Structure 1
């Protein structure tokens, strides 16, 4: 485990308009206590990032981009660059399974985004994970290897210090359309996180593997938080649907805080 301080990221995906996001942040600000052992990051839609950056207390919450283009500027209609997000966000998701599978983002796209984030002073959260078929076929380690090698190809050991890895098994992520998410066992998470550590150690050395932060993200709820955070090597969570409800998200943060106190 890299740090005692837990990193909890709420990924809102394509939810909450500007007014709803502002109201949510107002409610969450009142609910959430500042804990030195928990770092809280919110990842709203790009439309709401600017307004929330003016409303948010940076001592309480940080902001993350859900997506961006890897070029700093140019003739790319409809895109937002990491250079434009600089100063607005502190983190950015890269390689989320929905970007990989719905928008066909390649390893080249992903490694270019990781490099662009680093270049612009933004911490990339590189998402990796296998599909249901790959999991059932016993290919988890191979898939994680390929995604880590592909995503980190342009990154030096020094730059790796600003990278966060999020393990999100695709087979456990809810589509949000009435589907029932699969509950991933802590054992499966531990196996995957161990594989990630081993690959980072192979690429950058044991010291880098011991210091890099690894999150778990796969239909996380308040009922499963404690179990996942107790897994060796898990330094935080990437929370999806549960982060859209301020009370539920606050409950997750409180459990993370209590777990950190026990661990310390």
Structure 2
């Protein structure tokens, strides 16, 4: 068994369940599991539960769901919030602190820390997003989190804003920096990835996988990225 790798698809605010079902059918026809590669798909809350039910019916090995966000509070009188405990049985992972959440919804590092704690307490794995130039403060806010069950998703803001991926050399440097702060947590890279360039990004030292946005909306393009990561595991 090798080191675990992750390929994460973030569907953001797209896809009703009917579209998610078509995506999963297409992906299932292409997919060959790899023992050391975990595929994680993040639908929106509207179709998360039904997508989970359909995914279980397909019985795809090593494919799991993530929620795109979570409440910083437990179950209780918090109108509009989705507590981590409510996600159990549907999602295994939760995306926390995405740059879009920090930018458009004004989430603070304290908010993110609370969400991470709630996620871990519910027995789920947080995928914590960090970016430059704020990585240090975002990472140190997690210093009190005592668990190995965290994935760090590094996504530089300029790559997201201008849709130009950061160079592999810069990503390697960022991974080294993050590992100095939290050496036990795997790091994935996300930012303007697409199938045409994925070979350059599938095997960067210190990176345990890829976090895919727009390119995950089509099953074929997402599968191409997944194949590139699996290929590096077979070398």
Please report the TM-score for the alignment, with normalisation by the length of structure 1. 0.84
Query: Post-superposition shift, 1:59?
Result: 2.1
3-state DSSP of counterpart to 2:41: strand
Match of 1:6 in 2: 5
User: After the TM superposition, which residues 88-99 of structure 1 pair with which residues of structure 2 at under 5 Å, given as runs?
Assistant: 88-99=90-101
CA deviations on 1:99-120 (whole Å, 9 max, x unpaired) are 0010000111000000000000
Match of 1:219 in 2: 192
Match of 2:169 in 1: 187
Does structure 1 residue 237 correspond to structure 2 residue 228?
no
Query: Post-superposition shift, 1:58?
Result: 5.4
Does structure 1 residue 154 correspond to structure 2 residue 144?
yes
Unaligned runs of 5+ residues in structure 2 are none
Tell which deviates more after alignment, 82-91 or 52-61: 52-61
3-state DSSP of counterpart to 2:9: strand
Match of 1:86 in 2: 88
8 A Cα contact 2:70 2:84, kept in partner: yes
8 A Cα contact 1:111 1:153, kept in partner: no
8 A Cα contact 1:72 1:84, kept in partner: no
Give the distance between the partners of 2:16 and 2:51, measured in 1 at CA. 11
3-state DSSP of counterpart to 1:145: helix
8 A Cα contact 2:202 2:228, kept in partner: no
Q: Alignment RMSD, CA only?
A: 1.4
3-state DSSP of counterpart to 2:201: helix
If each structure's helix is expressed as a fraction of its own residues, which one has the higher value? 1
8 A Cα contact 1:5 1:260, kept in partner: no
CA deviations on 1:158-178 (whole Å, 9 max, x unpaired) are x1x10010100011015xxxx
Query: Post-superposition shift, 1:245?
Result: 0.5
| 2:136 maps to which of 132, 141, 145 | 145
3-state DSSP of counterpart to 1:4: coil
8 A Cα contact 2:203 2:229, kept in partner: no
| 2:78 maps to which of 76, 79, 89 | 76
Give the distance between the partners of 1:250 and 1:198, measured in 2 at CA. 32
Tell which deviates more after alignment, 211-220 or 233-242: 211-220
Match of 2:19 in 1: 20
Match of 2:30 in 1: 31
Match of 2:53 in 1: 54
Does structure 1 residue 254 correspond to structure 2 residue 223?
no
Match of 1:205 in 2: none
Match of 1:168 in 2: 155
User: After the TM superposition, which residues 38-49 of structure 1 pair with which residues of structure 2 at under 5 Å, given as runs?
Assistant: 38-49=37-48
Give the distance between the partners of 1:117 and 1:97, measured in 2 at CA. 18
8 A Cα contact 2:69 2:94, kept in partner: yes
Give the distance between the partners of 1:63 and 1:127, measured in 2 at CA. 17
Please report the TM-score for the alignment, with normalisation by the length of structure 2. 0.94
8 A Cα contact 2:9 2:211, kept in partner: yes
3-state DSSP of counterpart to 1:40: strand
CA deviations on 1:56-93 (whole Å, 9 max, x unpaired) are 13524100000110212122111111010011111000
